[in-house]
Structure 1
Amino acid sequence: MRGKNKISLQFKVLSLISVLLLVIILLLAGIFSYILYVDSRTQAELLVLQTAKTISLMPELYEAIKEDNLEEIFRPIAEQVKDQANASNIVIENRERIIYSHSDLKLVGQRNSNHTNDQALIFGGSSSFEIDREQGRVIVGKVPIIADYSTYSQVIGTVSVEFLEKDLLYNLYKKIKFIIFASLGVFILGIIGGIYLTNNIRKDTLGLEPHEISSLFRERNAILSSIKEGIIAINERGLITMINLSASDMLNICEKHFINQHIHDILPNIKIDLVLETGQDIHNVELLLHDKMYIFNFIPIIEQEQVVEQVVGVVLSFRDKTELKKLIDTISEVRTYSEGLRAQTHEYANKLYLLSGLLQLEKYQDALDFINKESTIHHHQTKLLFNQIQDLNIQAILLGKLGRASEMKIHFEIDPESYVDPLPKHIGVTEIITIIGNLIDNAFESVIFQDKRNVSFSITNLGNEIIIEVTDSGKGLSKEQFDTLFAVGFSSKGENRGYGLYNVKRIVDALNGNIDVINGKEGGAIFTVFLPKGVK
C-alpha cells in the first residue's frame, strides 16, 4: 500500500537540518566558550598581577607599614581598589607571613600557614597561581613589597590580590548567554528554512512524497511496457525523454541510444514544432516509416504557472496502420456475416410460417410447389455465389443483401455472368464492404417506394480491372443530383445522411479507380466502379 509506514520528506529534511544545526551550533559554541574562558582566565591572571603591583607601589602602603597602622590608613584604599578591580580579596603580609590586611578581620594578625610567599619573599618575583579557599577556587596574583633604603632595597612583605573562579565563570556565562540566544535564533531560522524548502520541493513534485513518486514511476514503466501503441515523449526543445518498448520495436531502434537525441533523428518528417508553438492536439496523422504506414497522435504537455500556460513537451503515440486495418477488416467481416445471418433468419422464418399455414390448410400441392420454387432459387443463388464468386468477403456481402432484399420485398438479382477471383491484397475487407454495400443499399433505397423494385448486381475481373455494376429501377438522377452526387452530406433521405456515396468515391480514388454514373434507358441509375488489380 502506498504511503504505509513511510517517513515524509519534510520530516527527513527537518531532521537532517536540525541535527546539522545542533552539531554546528554546539561545536562553535563549545570552541567559542573555550576560547573565551581561556582569554578571560588570562585576563584575570594579568589583572590580579597588575593590581597587586599597583598596590605594592603605593606610597600610602609604605607609610601605613612604617607607622604600623595598616588597618586604619591603607584598608579603605584596599577596599576601594578591590571594588574597582572586582577582586574577592586583597591580602597584605610582612616578611614573617603575618597578615596585616584581609577581608576576613579574624585572620588579621595571624600567621599565614602556606608557603606561597616564598618566591616573592626570597627571590622578589611576582607570580600567579590557583588555590582553594572556603569560598571556592581562587586565582591569586602575588607581588613583593620592596622598600628602597637609598643604598639598598629590601622585601618587607607581599601583596596578594585574589579573584574567585566562580565570579569568572559567572561573567563568562553572561557572555555565553548571548551566544545561546543567537544560536537558538539560528536554529529556528534553519527550521523555518527547512519547512520552506520542503514545501517548495513538494510543490515541484505536485505534492507527492519521494516514495509515492518512485511508486508512480514503477507503475508508469509497467503501463508503458504493456501498451501496444508506440509512445515517445519529448521536451520543449524536441529532445527525446522517453521511448517505450513498443515504439522501439516498431521503429527498430535501441531506446538507450536515442534518449536526449532530437526527435527528427528518428522521425525526420513529423511537424512537431507546430504542436510546441500552438499547444494544439493533432490526431490521426499518417506517416510512412520503413515501408509501413503508421497513424500518429500528438498531445502537448502543458504546464500552468499562475494564469500562464506553457507547452513543456509533447507525447507522440502511434500504431501500425496495417494492424489497425486488419482489426477493422475483421470487425467489418463479422458484422457483414452477422447482418447476412440475421436477414436470412428473418426471411426463412417468414417462409416457414407460410409453409406451416399451407400445411394447416391442407394445401399440400401449393406447399410442394413453394418448396420446389425456393429450392430452385436457392440452388441457383448458391451455385452462382459459391462457384462464380470466389472471394469470401463478397460472398458474405451478397448473401446478406439477398436476405435484406427479401425482407424489403425487392427483387435482387445477381448477374449470371458474374465472376471474380479472390481480391488482391491491396483491396481490403473494409474497402470492398464500403463500395459494394453502399451501392446496393443506395439502390435499395431508390426503389423502395417504386412499383417495380428491381436491383441487379454484376461483378467481373476481366483484363486488368475489377468491374462492379449496380443497376436499379428507381427514378434515376437529375442533372443537379449528378453535380453533387459524391459531395459530403448528399442525400435524398433527409438530414444526417449522405455519407455512403462520399465514402465510396473516397475509397475508389484511394485505390486509383474510377466510378461512372448514368441513367438507364428504362429508368433508374447505373453505378459502375472500375478498380485496378495492381497497385499503381
Structure 2
Amino acid sequence: MKKTLRLQTRLTIFVCIVVLISLCITFFTIWSETAKNIHQQERDIALSTAKMVAEAPITAKSLEDDHSYSALRKYTTNVQRITKTEFVVVMDMNGIRKTHPNPQKIGKRFAGGDEKPALQGKEHISTASGTLGRSMRAFVPVYNKDGKQLGAVAVGITLKEIDLIIHQNLIPLYFVTSLSLLSGIIGALIVARKVKKIMFGLEPDEIATLLKERSAMLESTKEGILAVDQHGKIKLANAEAKRLFHNMGIMVDPREQDVQALLPSSGLKQVIETRKPLLDRDVRMNGLELVFNEVPITVKGEIVGAIATFRDKTEVKHLAEQLSGVKMYANALRAQSHEFMNKLHVILGLVQLKNYDDLGTYIKDIAIYQQTETNEIINHVKNSVLAGFLLGKQSYIREQGATLEVICSTQVPNSEDPSVTHDLITVIGNLLNNALDAVSHTKNKNISISFRYVQEQLHIEITDTGVGLTKEEQEMMFEQGFSTKGEDRGFGLYFVDQSIKKLNGHLIVTSEKGEGTTFSLRIPYKQKEDSHD
C-alpha cells in the first residue's frame, strides 16, 4: 500500500508553496519595476549631463578655436566626477575625441559607431561597446552662437554600474522577501497544526472511513434519527426517519425544513431553548404513535442543535407486551409449582405417618377445591392464554397470603384479534398487582375480578379491600412515574391507561381512603367466529 504524507505535512508544504509563489511574483514585479526606473533615471542623468556640457560656452569655444582643450578637459573631468558618470567625451565633426577619462584615448576616433546621428544634429541615447566596455550613452550635438554644429558630446554610464545600482536598491527587498518567506513557513506550520487539532488528529482517509461508517450506522439503525441546528432547521434524517414520515403522509424531503412546521408535536425547539432533554415521550402524529427521545447537542458549552430518536410505538409495545406476558406467565407457573410442592409435602408427611384417613380426606378436599376453583375459569374463559394466566395469578396471590375470586357471569369468548389478549393481560396483570400491593397491609386481603360479555363489549371489574386512594392520588395515578410506593415506580397504571386507549376502552376508578378500590373497564371485544359453543 502506497504510503502518503500526513495531513499536517501536506498542509505545511502547500502553504509554503503558495507563499513562495506569491513572494516570487511580488519580487520579480518589484525587481522589474525598479530596474526599469533606474535605467530611466540613468538615461535622464546621462542625457541631462550631455546637454549641460554641450551648452557650456567653453565647449563650443574650444571646438571653434580648435585649441586650449586643457580647460575643456578639466571641465569635463569635474562634470564626470560630480555626476558620477563613466565618461564625458567631447568630439569634433570628424568624431575625434577632444576629451576622455583616459588621456591616451584623446585625439583618436570615437569607438562604437553610434555617434553618427549626433554628428548629424540629432540627440539620441544608445547602448554600445566602447573602450571602457558596454555602456549606455547619451549624445547631444554642440552648436556655436550662429547655430553651426561644431561637434557632439557623449556621456556614458557602464551597464555594470547600472546593474550595481539596481542590486544596491534591491538589497532591502531581498531582506524583506527572506523574512516574509520565513514568516510564511512558520505560519504554515501553525496553520497545519491548528487544522490538525480541529480535526482531532485524524487523517483524511480516517475521516472518510468514519464518515462512511457513520452513514452506514445511521441508515441501518431501526430507530428514526432527526438532527436540527440551533434554529430548528432539519440537517439530518436517516432512512428509518424518512420511512416513518412517509407512513405519516409526509412526502417532502425533510432536510432544511423547519422541524416545528413539519412535526408540530416535536419538542426539539423546546429542548434547544431549555437545554433540557425530553425522554420517553409518547407522541401521536398523523395516526402514528411514536416514542420520542430528544436531547440537546452541546459543543464547548454552547447549544448548536438537538437530536431526536424515535420509533413506532406499536413495535415497542409489542416487545413490551411480549416481555410482560412472559414475565407474568413465569410468575404464575412458579406460584403454581410452589403451591403444588407444598401440597406434595403435606401428602408425603401423611403417608409417612400412615394417617391414611386424613390423607384421603385431604386429597378429596384438594380435588373438590381445585375443581371448583378451576372450573369457573376453564368453563367460562375460552381464551386458553387468558385462562391459564388467571389460574396462575390465583395461585400467586394465594401464595402471597391473599385471595383472588374469579367471577364470570357470562362466557368470555376468544377474540378475533390475538393482540387484544396481550393488551388484556397487560391491563389485568398490572391492576391485580396494584390490588395485591393495596391489600398487603390490611387485615382482609380479598381481591375479586368479574367478567361479563355483552354485545361485543367485555366488562371487567377488579375490586380489592385495600387502603384505597385519595382524590388527589386518583387524579395523578395514570401519570408516568407517579407512585405512592417510592422511587423507580409508577409505570404499571401508566401502561394500563395506554393499553386501554389503544383498545378504545373506558376505565372508571371508584375508591375511598380506607375503603378499597374498584376498577371498572369496558372494552370493545369482537369474538372469534369459531369460538361459539
Structure 2 length-normalised TM: 0.75
SS of corresponding position for 1:340:
helix
Q: Give me the whole-angstrom Cα distance separating, in 1, the residues matched to 2:113 and 2:434.
A: 131
Which residue in 1 is equivalent to 2:524? 533
Q: Does 1:221 align with 2:219?
A: no
| Worse-superposed segment, 24-33 or 185-194 | 185-194
* Distance in 1 (alpha carbons) for counterparts of 2:52 and 2:84: 15
1:55 aligned onto 2:49: no
Partner of 1:70: 69
Aligned to 1:243: 237
| Matched ranges for 1:90-489 at <5 A | 90-93=88-91, 99-105=97-103, 107-108=104-105, 111-112=108-109, 114=111, 116=113, 119=116, 123=120, 125-132=122-129, 136-143=133-140, 153=148, 155=150, 159-183=153-177, 214-252=208-246, 257-270=253-266, 274-302=270-298, 309=302, 311-361=303-353, 374=366, 377-378=369-370, 381=373, 383-405=375-397, 407-408=399-400, 412-415=404-407, 419-422=411-414, 429=422, 432-439=425-432, 442-443=435-436, 446=439, 457-463=449-455, 465-469=457-461, 476=465, 486=474
The residue identity in structure 2 corresponding to 1:229 is E
Superposed CA deviations along residues 262-308 of structure 1, whole A, max 9, x for unmatched, are 33553345566544543443344433333232233433445667xxx
Counting aligned pairs with the same residue, the percent is 22
Distance 2:115 2:466 in 1: 143
Structure 1 residue aligned with 2:7: 8
- Determine the C-alpha separation between the residues in 2 that align with 1:166 and 1:33: 17
SS in 2 for 1:513: strand
User: 1 CA distance for matches of 2:492 and 2:45?
Assistant: 115
Shift of 1:504: 9.4
> Any idea what the Cα deviations from partners look like across 1:179-227, whole Å, max 9, x if unmatched?
4445556656767877887788789878877666655443432232122
Contact preservation (8 Å) 1:288, 1:294: yes
Decide whether the 8 Å contact of 2:265 with 2:285 is kept in 1: no
C-alpha distance in 1, partners of 2:253/2:463?
A: 60
Aligned residues: 515
Give the residue type in structure 2 aligned to 1:139.
Answer: M
Distance in 2, Cα, partners of 1:240 & 1:284: 21
User: Could you list the per-position Cα deviations for residues 212-254 of structure 1 after superposition, in whole angstroms to 9, with x for gaps in the alignment?
Assistant: 6655443432232122222233344443322221121112167
Letter in 2 for 1:442: A
| Distance in 1 between residues matched to 2:86 and 2:30, nearest whole Å | 26
Is the contact made by 1:410 and 1:444 (CA closer than 8 Å) also made in structure 2?
Answer: no
Say if 1:93 and 1:398 are closer, same or farther in 2 by CA, change over 3 A. Answer: same
* TM-score with structure 1 setting the length: 0.75
2:253 counterpart SS class = helix
Shift of 1:325: 1.5
- Gap change, CA 1:265 and 1:410, over 3 Å in 2: closer
- 3-state SS of paired residue (1:74): helix
SS at 1:162 equivalent? strand
For 2:217, the aligned partner's letter is I
Residue 82 of structure 1, CA deviation: 0.6
Amino acid at match of 1:239: K
Give the structure 2 partner of residue 41 of structure 1: 39
Question: Alpha carbons of 1:485 and 1:109: their partners in 2 closer, same or farther (altered >3 Å)?
Answer: closer
- Paired AA for residue 342 in structure 2: N
1:40 CA drift (Å)? 3.2
- Matches of 2:60 and 2:281, distance apart in 1: 115
**Residues in 2 aligned to 1:518 and 1:43: alpha-carbon distance in whole angstroms:** 114
Give 1:22's aligned residue: 20
Q: Which amino acid letter does the alignment assign opposite residue 168 of structure 2?
A: K
Q: What SS is found at the alignment partner of 2:413? A: coil
Select between 15-24 and 170-179 the one with higher mean Cα deviation: 15-24
**1:36–1:172 contact (8 Å) kept in structure 2:** yes
CA contact under 8 A between 1:468 and 1:529: conserved in structure 2?
yes
Task: Give unmatched runs, 5+ long, in structure 1.
Answer: none
Shift of the 279–206 alpha-carbon distance from structure 1 to 2, 3 Å rule, reads farther
TM-aligned CA deviation for residue 531 of structure 1: 2.0
> How far 1:443 sits from its partner (Å)?
4.9
CA distance, structure 1, for counterparts of residue 192 and residue 251 of structure 2: 34
Which amino acid in the other structure matches residue 227 of structure 1?
T
